[in-house]
Structure 1
Amino acid sequence: MDRLSALKEIAAQASRGELSFPTNVDATLKLQRALNEPDCHIEMAARLVQAEPLLAARTVAIANSVAYNRAGHDVTNVRAAVQRVGFRTLGALAASVIVRQLASGLKDPDLRARADALWIHSAHVAALCQVIARRVSFVDPETAMFAGIVHEVGGFYLLSRAEEFPGLVDGDADEWIEHGEVAIGRGVLSKLGVPVPVMGAIEALWNGMRALPPETLGDTLLLANDLAPFPSPLHQRPGATTMHSAATIDFIAGEGTLAQVLTESAEEVKSLTAALI
């Protein structure tokens, strides 16, 4: 099967809800649903998080990041970390574990390197989303960070299937964008139960329409995606050079400019990104 036919077949399966997830993804999905239960309290959440080592480590790291630890008092245990970040951030962190797990079974070193690069891109977008939402667009920062974490989940699913179809992620990026990204992305996002506002923001990213200064969650995600210093490896076209958008995008933001906001928030973005990676 050639690359385009394989893309179309995987997209058709995703549209029908026929998705193949690794076992560890199903386990983390169950954990995420348990965290979302109304009667889940701090003690229960801490126990659930401790059962997933990667989520536990990421929760403590986020709690100690500059964005969540403004007083400079580090926490050293999961319960204190859960209490500091809150349940909504915890849900976003659980999603980050799920996204990473999608391609965790890859054995091909090139595909693993692409998955790592895709996550580095996603982590930067998520961190930028949180800062832009809080300081520029004034949408909910936790929702914005969640949108950044999951905006490339379709790409991770594609990579998870790539060993079945040699050459699936090679060649023209336009084929992925035109024939796979939206259909596969929608299918995986639906399977993960991503909230409607976040789905709408990712749809806006796919459509490429935004306002400057950003006003909506979709605008925030698009701007963060453009500003991310590491592009998605699935969107890079052969022979294309990457231009850092931060050098060309600027506008008045409150009493300053976007460039000033990014400079002032650089340590927060760096700290959040490192915690997610």
Structure 2
Amino acid sequence: MDKAQVFSAIAAQISEHGMVFPTSVRLALRIRDMLADPDCHIDAVAKLVQAEPVLSARIVALANSVAYNPYGREIDDLRSAIARIGLATVRTLAMAVVARQMAGNSIPADASALAEKLWAHSAHVAALARVLARRVTRLDPEAAMFAGIVHEVAGFYLLSRSQDYPGILGDDFAEWIESGERTIGEPLLRVLNVPENIRAAVDTYWDGYLGMPPATLGDTLLLAEELCPVPSPLHVRVDGGSPSRGSAEIELLIGEELLTEILEESRREVDSLSDALRF
């Protein structure tokens, strides 16, 4: 089976015929599209979100996380949770449902196990990206979290198609992902109507070039990937672990004291966020 031909065929199918989603994903996309309307009202969003129990639970969990609830004032109703985290974050969570459930329950057990590990990694990268955007690159933290949520979407989609291409989950599957991520990811992000700035950030991630000093949304995403202690199961690394330039190089990029301070002070926030984002 030729990898390049498989990736090109899947990319062509996405571009020409779109994608068929399960009911829960279609509802999440509907919510996301509703939130694109600047006149969208919180009550209308809450009413629609109530029909998606997974998304509802994650919204309340995120609203009660350290990042959005530093003073420990817990809430348990959906409308208050939406008001606390904001509509932009609800839109990010809707995309999280899409990404996570893209590789749903109908895939083989080996693919499902990879999807679980991939989501744990994605959630941690998203949480770290939010903190780094606020503390290092001074960019929109919610946009950074959005980029972290969708940066592995090609991997999720390929796992969802594993039954259509027998044998791709072999020992060289991670090499397949490395060589085909952009081929599949670019049309996938377009079909999903992911905003252009987020697509540009993911494109930077695929390039793998981290600017010095980090300044863009793509740099923020790459830095979060570099610092993430939860490795992606789909990427080949020389040391067998998560991607890393080494602490010395990262310290040169953002400063040793600042990096240590960020990692220490944000540990609870990142752990709380990543837990809330796990589906």
Q: Same fold (TM over 0.5)?
A: yes
Aligned pairs for 1:121-140 (under 5 A) are 121-140=121-140
2-structure distance, mates of 1:92, 1:265: 21
CA 6–33 in structure 1, closer or farther in 2 if over 3 Å, else same = same
Q: Which residue of 2 aligns with 1:147?
A: 147
2-structure distance, mates of 1:20, 1:182: 21
The structural deviation recorded for 1:47 is 1.2
1-structure distance, mates of 2:39, 2:170: 47
Aligned pairs for 1:55-134 (under 5 A) are 55-134=55-134
1-structure distance, mates of 2:113, 2:92: 24
The structural deviation recorded for 1:252 is 6.8
Q: Which residue of 2 aligns with 1:25?
A: 25
Matched-pair identity in % = 49
1-structure distance, mates of 2:51, 2:23: 15
Aligned pairs for 1:1-277 (under 5 A) are 1=1, 5-16=5-16, 18-172=18-172, 173-178=174-179, 180-236=180-236, 240-242=239-241, 245=244, 247-248=247-248, 249-251=250-252, 253=254, 256-277=257-278
Which whole-Å deviations, capped at 9, do the CAs of 1:114-167 have from their partners, x for residues lacking one?
Answer: 011110110010000000000111010000000000111111111110011112
CA 61–160 in structure 1, closer or farther in 2 if over 3 Å, else same = same
2-structure distance, mates of 1:149, 1:235: 17
CA 167–82 in structure 1, closer or farther in 2 if over 3 Å, else same = same
- Match of 1:230, SS state, is coil
CA 208–252 in structure 1, closer or farther in 2 if over 3 Å, else same = closer
1-structure distance, mates of 2:163, 2:258: 45
CA RMSD of aligned residues (A): 2.1
User: Would the aligned equivalents of 1:229 and 1:244 in 2 still touch at CA under 8 Å?
Assistant: no
Query: Which blocks of at least 5 consecutive residues in structure 1 are unaligned?
Result: none
Q: Which amino acid aligns with 1:242?
A: G
Q: Which amino acid aligns with 2:26?
A: D
Query: Which 10-residue stretch deviates more, 249-258 or 52-61?
Result: 249-258
TM-score by length of 1: 0.91
- Match of 2:223, SS state, is helix
The structural deviation recorded for 1:191 is 1.1
The structural deviation recorded for 1:92 is 0.4
Q: Which amino acid aligns with 1:37?
A: D
Query: Which blocks of at least 5 consecutive residues in structure 2 are unaligned?
Result: none
Runs of 4+ in 1 over 6 A off after TM superposition: none
2-structure distance, mates of 1:168, 1:30: 32
Which whole-Å deviations, capped at 9, do the CAs of 1:221-270 have from their partners, x for residues lacking one?
Answer: 00101111122212136x85216747443247589421221111100000
Query: Which 10-residue stretch deviates more, 207-216 or 241-250?
Result: 241-250
User: Would the aligned equivalents of 1:102 and 1:160 in 2 still touch at CA under 8 Å?
Assistant: yes
Q: Which amino acid aligns with 1:267?
A: R
* Paired positions, count: 275
TM-score by length of 2: 0.91
Q: Which amino acid aligns with 1:258?
A: L
- Match of 2:40, SS state, is coil
- Match of 2:164, SS state, is coil
Which whole-Å deviations, capped at 9, do the CAs of 1:200-221 have from their partners, x for residues lacking one?
Answer: 0000011111123311100000
2-structure distance, mates of 1:254, 1:240: 25
- Match of 1:57, SS state, is helix
